[in-house]
Structure 1
């Protein structure tokens, strides 16, 4: 079961922008991540590789400070908002709930819930001749 300081350190790492390092530093070796009802991805190394590949497709990912963080024993829920700016300068937003199960001070399972109809909606269009920012 994580203490609040450990959860806060995880949140700070993610908001800081190095999502791959956050996976390395806060997930178990056998951790899994699952998007809505999709099959989970398994293993910290695979999770890091998937995240690095996703981020490489972007110009920028901005992680807002969470709207709320709930800690209840080994369960943590984080209400995230992410703005992803494409290489074409278009910024899209995802708002999600991440429900985590911790083993000690590391995340063992994480499942993301978001509305697929409104996920990654455009919040800022590219400006001709320049790249957008979030």
Structure 2
């Protein structure tokens, strides 16, 4: 089994390539809670998959950027800083920094919160 730093690096590599389905299969718990800023959570991996499918369908430009800037790993927590740059069919052009905090258990993400500006 990989140590947490290796798992986080592998997960972030998949995210940087927009390979979310593979990331979910390899690293997310079926009961994961996912928060976007202060919104109510998406509960469970099925809800997370649906939301990500909807998002990826709406991202209009190619290529889009998901650039990893920094990573912290301690105990069972990882924090990743991302630069995202894309065009969404409904939201228009977006370029922002996002902080993602993840709690891990048994090699899987069980809780995740994304922090970013919404305006």
Superposition TM-score, scaled by structure 1 size: 0.77
* Structure 2: runs of 5 or more not aligned: none
Q: Deviations over 1:76-124 (max 9, x none)?
A: 0000111122359x5321311001100121100001111223xxxxxxx
- Check the 8 A contact 1:2/1:104 in 2, yes or no: no
Q: Secondary structure at the match of 1:66?
A: strand
Say which structure is richer in helix: 2
Q: Is the 8 A contact 2:18 2:66 kept in 1?
A: no
Q: Which runs of 4+ in 1 moved over 3 A?
A: none
Supply the RMSD in Å over aligned alpha carbons.
2.0
TM-score under structure 2 normalisation?
0.86
Other-structure match for 1:75 = 77
Report Cα offsets for 1:45-85 as digits up to 9, x if no partner. 11011100111112246243311000001010000111122
Are positions 1:51 and 2:52 aligned together? yes
Structure of higher CA gyration radius: 1
